[in-house]
Amino acid sequence: MSMLRGVVDAVRGANLRQYGMIIALVFIMLLFQVLEVMKLDQNFLTPRNITNAIVQNSFILILAIGVMLVIVNGHIDLSVGSVLAFTGAVSAIALSDWGLPWYLAVLAAIGTGALIGVWQGFWIAYVRIPAFIVTLAGMLLFRGLTLWALEAQTISIRSEEFRMLGSGYWIQDSQVAGYHLPTLLIGAVGAGFIIWMQSAGRRNAIRNRIDTGSPVAWAVKTVLLAAATFGGAMVLAAYRGLPVIGIILVALVMAYTFVANRTVFGRHIYAGGGNEKAASLSGVKTKQTSFWVFVNMGALAGLAGVVFTARLQSATPDAGEMFELHAIASAFIGGASMSGGVGTIVGAVIGGLVMGVMNQGMSILSVGQDLQSVILGLVVLAAVFFDVWNKKRSSGPIVGTTPGGSGEAKRRGKGPDDSGPSGDQPKRPDPVGAAK
């Protein structure tokens, strides 16, 4: 009985906003499974398809991580597709024309991306030109520079190691009963790590006398997470094991989740995006934070450029066109708020996977490009609509407030309360415009 209650609590406690997209992703995967069994008499949920969904979208996922932080910080980046193309070109030129080893070519691309971030971050953070304009200019600028650098030609990549980054798999010959052993081991270690982290967190919380909720609910959640991790590893292991890019992605997600949630810098990204004025009056160096967010975005676009070039085995002038829009869409599907301050790294990655899985599923069903684009557009709209609807639904009145007012209104800083005139004095000093 208490077991059942625990499960119910766990389900109820899992707020829709956080897990909605995961549920949607699972639902979309099952939908394609059904459709493909019906129409083509074959499985969609095969280890091969799942591996491909990750590998073929890896560069979008990498971009989405950076774009998510940019959006959380209250900005936007339209230039990432062009930056990806340019940095990809730099890596290809570094390999072929300059004869650099593969790792230096990778560093050259990431470094170039970071420098581009310095350029754009300077205009956005310190000169305070809106990011939309700066990165729109960057989109044109770096596309042009890519054409110029490549002399409108395609450069192909010969370095094996470099290609591995885009399409390689880790330690090929260690299959056991059809499963890739190292991947299984990583899955087991990952599952163990999750259990350890969750227990340590719970112990710590109890020590600090924080309400931890029902132990059964906690156990159910932990076991589900660990099982999902190991299950995911098993699926990958059944094909060719963990792709190199998969390792990179897992590392990025973990590192950036940590930065976003657990570091002062990460909290400052959110605080600056959520309410820049309040943040700067609380001692947050909002300009500096925004600057580094763009430098980081540039570096990640550089990494994505490497991965994309490696996967294509060539650098082309039109690489990465429309990628910025896919990355931005991923962030919004994954729960980012247009007004800043809201969004998670995992959300961005799941948003990217939703788009990737849909692309793949529709391609296998030979849905035409025209219809694919229409459907993806509707999905973006639906995801954000769900978010808005969910907010409205869950924003009931709480202690000490005058009821009424939607969540959206709250998001814009006009909470439904009875208090003073705080919002209506036009001529108050503005800390943001402060001169130093």
Partner 1 sequence: MSEDILRMRGITKRFPGVLALDDVDMRVERATIHALVGENGAGKSTLMKILSGVYPHGEFEGDIELEGRPARFRGIQDSENAGVAIIHQELALVPELSIAENIFLGNEQAQRGVISWNRTNSVAVELMAKVGLSDSPRELVENIGVGKQQLVEIAKALSKQVKVLILDEPTAALNESDSRNLLNLLRALRDEGVTCILISHKLGEVLSVAESITVLRDGKTIETLDNETDEVDEDRLIKSMVGRDLEHRFPPHRPEVGEVFFQVKDWTVHHPEHRERIVVHGAELSVARGEVVGLAGLMGAGRTEFAMSVFGRAWGSHIQGEIHLDGKKLRLHSVADAIDAGLAYATEDRKQYGLHLDYDLRQNFTLAGIRQVSKAGVVDQHQVTSVSERLRSSFGVKTPSVFQPAGNLSGGNQQKVVLGKWVFTEPELLILDEPTRGIDVGAKYEIYELIHELVDQGKGVLMISSELPELLGMCDRIYAMSAGHITGQVDRETATQEELMRLMTLETAKGGVEL
CB-CB contact of 395 with 406 (8 Å): yes
Which residue from 265, 367, 372, 386 is in contact with partner 1, where contact means CB under 8 A? 265
Which residues ranging from 67 to 106 are in contact with partner 1 (CB under 8 A)? none
Q: Which of the stretches 50-58, 64-72, 261-269, 308-316 binds partner 1 when contact is defined by CB under 8 A? A: 261-269
Scan residues 147-206 and list those touching partner 1 (CB under 8 A). Answer: 201, 204-205
Smallest separation (angstroms) from partner 1 to the CB of 83 = 27
Retrieve residue 430's tokens: 């503005």
Alpha helices in 122-243 (DSSP H): 131-150, 160-167, 181-207, 215-237
Sole window of 174-182, 237-245, 355-363, 391-399 interacting with partner 1 (rule: CB under 8 A): 391-399
Interface with partner 1, residue 280, by CB under 8 A: yes
CA dist 139 and 321 (Å) reads: 10
Tell me the per-residue interface mask from 341 to 380 with partner 1, x by CB under 8 A, - otherwise: xx--------------------------------------
Considering only residues 400 to 429 of the shown chain, the ones binding partner 1 according to CB under 8 A are: 400-404, 410-411, 413-415, 417-429
Minimum distance of partner 1 from residue 209's CB (angstroms): 7
262, 318, 371, 374: which one binds partner 1 (CB under 8 A)? 262
Which window, 42-50, 53-61, 137-145, 265-273, contacts partner 1 (CB under 8 A)?
265-273
Q: Distance between CA 241 and CA 208 in Å, rounded?
A: 41
338 binds partner 1 (CB under 8 A): no
Sequential DSSP letters for 373-394: HHHHHHHHHHHHHHHHHHHHHH
**Residue 45 DSSP symbol:** S
Which letter, b or e, does each residue of 195-219 get, where b requires 16 or more Cβ atoms within 10 Å of its Cβ? beebeeebeeeeeeeeeeebebbbb
The smaller minimum CB distance to partner 1, of residues 178 and 420, is found at 420
Element housing 156 (H / E): strand 155-156
- 23, burial (CB in 10 Å: exposed 0-12, middle 13-18, buried 19+): exposed
CA pair distance 155, 134, nearest whole angstrom: 29
Q: Which residues bind partner 1 (CB under 8 A)?
A: 201, 204-205, 207-211, 261-267, 270-271, 274-275, 277-285, 341-342, 396-404, 410-411, 413-415, 417-431, 433-436
